[in-house]
Amino acid sequence: MNIFTFKDEEQFVQTGANLISALLHTNPRAKLGLATGSTPIGLYNKLIEMNRQGLVSFAQTTTYNLDEYVGLPENHPESYRAFMNEKLFNHVDINIENTHVPNGNAADPEEECRNYDNMLEQFGPVDLQLLGLGHNGHIGFNEPGESLNGGTHVVELQEKTRNANARFFPSLDDVPTHAITMGVATILKARQILLLVRGEDKAEAVKRALKGPITTDCPASLLQCHPNVVVLLDQGAGSLLV
């Protein structure tokens, strides 16, 4: 694992954007695995800026998002499809038909999971998977537990995760109870993983993920099994690493 800690937010964001743009310069058809949440927003803003300046192009890129809530209309502002359109896709030269987010409104969510995995199997693996980290060590919506699911699957969200995401909804009751998420095995198939973490409130999770035992109690600890992980931390997030 290559772990970098940044004092400066601009450097943190620029380093992530440079990694993605370098990949797209080498391989304009690269497949990107993308994440939502608050952490990658600065990175997406930077990529939009670089795209406007002609420094990076997404014209031939295909993207696969990690996850989506079950049961939120696609145009609901908090659906991950709406998030991605608003935070990135609508502002860069990507072909929207080449962007994929699991369909949280599929009539048969289990079938949607199988279809998503089949698509990744057929067209993947992704070249670079962007990840954020949950306070409980989750990646995607792979929550801690006695076991983990390898492939894309429907998951019941833990209270801690629903509480953390309640800030985006009028009330906790409005936060969906289920989501579709790529599984840990799907995530680990990516050629490279780029994990971004910000904030002192995530320092404990960072320590468990990067330095703790590999355990299903901390799904992100499985990243230690991957041969090509780059971790970008701000000072708060890295504060418990020695």
Give the catalytic positions in this structure. 67, 136, 138, 143
Q: Which is nearer to ligand F6R, 39 or 79 (CB)?
A: 39
- Both tokens of 178, joined, read 């289920």
Q: Which is nearer to ligand F6R, 124 or 137 (CB)?
A: 137
Is residue 78 within 8 A of residue 37, CB to CB? The reply is: no
* Distance between CA atoms of residues 78 and 74, nearest Å: 9
CB of 199 to ligand F6R, least distance (A): 8
CB of 111 to ligand F6R, least distance (A): 22
Instruction: Write out the DSSP string of 130-160.
Output: EE---TTS-BTTB--SS---SSSEEEEPPHH
CB of 54 to ligand F6R, least distance (A): 28
- Both tokens of 57, joined, read 């192009």
CB of 39 to ligand F6R, least distance (A): 3
* Distance between CA atoms of residues 17 and 42, nearest Å: 9
Summarize as ranges the residues that interact with ligand F6R (CB under 6 A): 35-39, 66-67, 132-134, 138-141
Calculate the alpha carbon distances from 212 to 23, 78, 160, 184, 222 in Å. Answer: 30, 33, 21, 17, 10
Q: Which is nearer to ligand F6R, 7 or 167 (CB)?
A: 167
Q: Which is nearer to ligand F6R, 1 or 55 (CB)?
A: 1
Is residue 175 within 8 A of residue 166, CB to CB? The reply is: yes
What is the three-class DSSP state of 76?
Answer: coil
Instruction: State which amino acid sits at residue 134.
Output: G
DSSP state of 102: -
CB of 202 to ligand F6R, least distance (A): 7
Residue nearest to ligand F6R according to CB distances in the complex: 132
- Both tokens of 122, joined, read 């057929």
Q: Which is nearer to ligand F6R, 140 or 176 (CB)?
A: 140
* Distance between CA atoms of residues 232 and 151, nearest Å: 26
